[in-house]
């Protein structure tokens, strides 16, 4: 339903990697769509089809004020002819930041709820109240993670299968993307880099998403939890300096919430010999550049 642009694989040239005898490739999935870029394209693909099949006119979803998922869902809704509602955590702040200004520009109606109320967002009572307020809608959970998102990301893994690599690396938020990739990929190692602090619960979450989708457990993946830089959406000078020099050297922009932490983590892991020598790492650029460097 959403147009898809083919995306290139880019070789990272570096003396450091050459000495470590590691080949690092970046799959530029950030370039797959102008506004619904990166992993969100794959997570939304079957949700959009399902919403249409169910005859819903309206998509409703949840997110923080800088959410890539809110941004992508607003654009996808507009592109596919749905109305959209974004339930935003916290109070309204004017003027709208660039994420929310974009979302409203795409026709998304924003509805703010307190942090306390937001925690209840998956509760049947909360959703019933939303239906009373807004009428019928197709609900996409926070971050877009549900079985349809897993299906889309499993399909993405099929496409990646064509590339020669030993390790697949990607950033992890809710875990939906890695769960789909693990479900769809046969065999090769997958390393996720958690963007949030205290992310030990994520492995259980991913294991159960994979089990629900495939009926199986896999051992070929792990989540690295040491590169959160203070927590979700937190960053520091070391990370921001790294992002800047990586862009200068390789011409690839990274964001400070997801892909910057992943790339920092990959290079640091190479330094610590966590990847076998004479291997190829495929890093997924999952997008997220709309959220770069807000205050």
Ligand X SMILES: *Cc1c(COP(=O)(O)O)cnc(C)c1O
Contact residues toward ligand X (CB under 6 A) are: 38-40, 68-69, 143, 145, 171-177, 258-259, 286-288
Closest among 7, 285, 42, 70 to 181, alpha carbons compared: 42
Residue number with the shortest CB distance to ligand X?
Answer: 288
Give the start-end residues of each E strand in the chain.
9-11, 22-27, 58-63, 83-89, 108-113, 138-140, 167-172, 189-194, 221-224, 279-284
Q: Rank residues 50 and 134 by Cβ distance to ligand X and give the closer one.
A: 50
Tokens 């690839």 label which residue?
A: 252
Shortest Cβ 293–ligand X spacing (Å): 14
Shortest Cβ 288–ligand X spacing (Å): 3
Quickly list DSSP for 213-230: HHS----SEEEE-S--TT
Q: Rank residues 176 and 265 by Cβ distance to ligand X and give the closer one.
A: 176
Closest among 263, 277, 255 to 224, alpha carbons compared: 263
Shortest Cβ 99–ligand X spacing (Å): 11
Contact 67, 292 (CB under 8 A): no
d(CA 160, CA 235): 30
Q: Rank residues 113 and 192 by Cβ distance to ligand X and give the closer one.
A: 192
Q: Rank residues 29 and 267 by Cβ distance to ligand X and give the closer one.
A: 29
Q: Rank residues 173 and 270 by Cβ distance to ligand X and give the closer one.
A: 173
Q: Rank residues 113 and 153 by Cβ distance to ligand X and give the closer one.
A: 153
Three-class SS of residue 234? coil
Shortest Cβ 136–ligand X spacing (Å): 26
CA dihedral 42, 68, 286, 255 (to 10 degrees): 170
Q: Rank residues 66 and 275 by Cβ distance to ligand X and give the closer one.
A: 66
Tokens 């030993």 label which residue?
A: 166
Q: Rank residues 20 and 144 by Cβ distance to ligand X and give the closer one.
A: 144
β-strand 189-194 against 167-172: which pairing, if any? Answer: parallel
Contact 9, 282 (CB under 8 A): yes
d(CA 62, CA 118): 9
What secondary structure letter does DSSP report for 284? E
Shortest Cβ 179–ligand X spacing (Å): 8
Shortest Cβ 139–ligand X spacing (Å): 17
Shortest Cβ 279–ligand X spacing (Å): 23
Token pair recorded at residue 272: 């610590």
Give the start-end residues of each E strand in 115-220.
138-140, 167-172, 189-194
Shortest Cβ 156–ligand X spacing (Å): 11
């Amino acid at each position: 339903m959403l147009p898809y642009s083919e995306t290139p694989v880019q070789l990272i040239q570096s003396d450091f990697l050459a000495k470590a005898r590691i080949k690092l490739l970046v799959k530029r999935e950030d370039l797959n769509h102008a506004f619904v870029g990166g992993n969100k394209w794959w997570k939304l693909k079957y949700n959009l089809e399902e919403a249409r099949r169910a005859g819903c006119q309206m998509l409703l979803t949840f997110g923080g004020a800088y959410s890539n998922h809110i941004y992508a869902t607003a654009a996808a809704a507009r592109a596919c002819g749905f109305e959209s509602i974004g339930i935003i955590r916290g109070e309204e702040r004017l003027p709208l930041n660039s994420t929310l200004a974009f979302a409203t520009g795409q026709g998304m109606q924003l509805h703010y709820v307190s942090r306390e109320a937001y925690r209840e967002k998956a509760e049947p009572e909360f959703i019933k109240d939303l239906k009373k307020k807004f009428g019928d809608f197709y609900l996409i959970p926070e971050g877009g993670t549900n079985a349809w998102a897993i299906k889309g990301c499993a399909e993405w893994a099929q496409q990646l299968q064509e590339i020669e690599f030993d390790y697949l690396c990607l950033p992890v938020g809710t875990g939906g993307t890695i769960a789909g990739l693990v479900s769809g990929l046969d065999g090769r190692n997958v390393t996720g880099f958690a963007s949030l602090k205290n992310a030990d619960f994520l492995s259980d979450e991913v294991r159960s998403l994979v089990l629900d989708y495939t009926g199986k457990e896999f051992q070929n993946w792990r989540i690295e939890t040491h590169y959160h830089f203070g927590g979700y959406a937190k960053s520091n000078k070391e990370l921001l300096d790294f992002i800047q020099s990586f862009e200068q050297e390789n011409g690839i922009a990274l964001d400070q919430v997801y892909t910057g932490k992943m790339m920092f983590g990959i290079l640091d892991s190479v330094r610590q010999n966590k990847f076998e020598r004479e291997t190829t790492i495929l890093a997924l650029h999952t997008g997220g550049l709309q959220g770069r460097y807000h205050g």
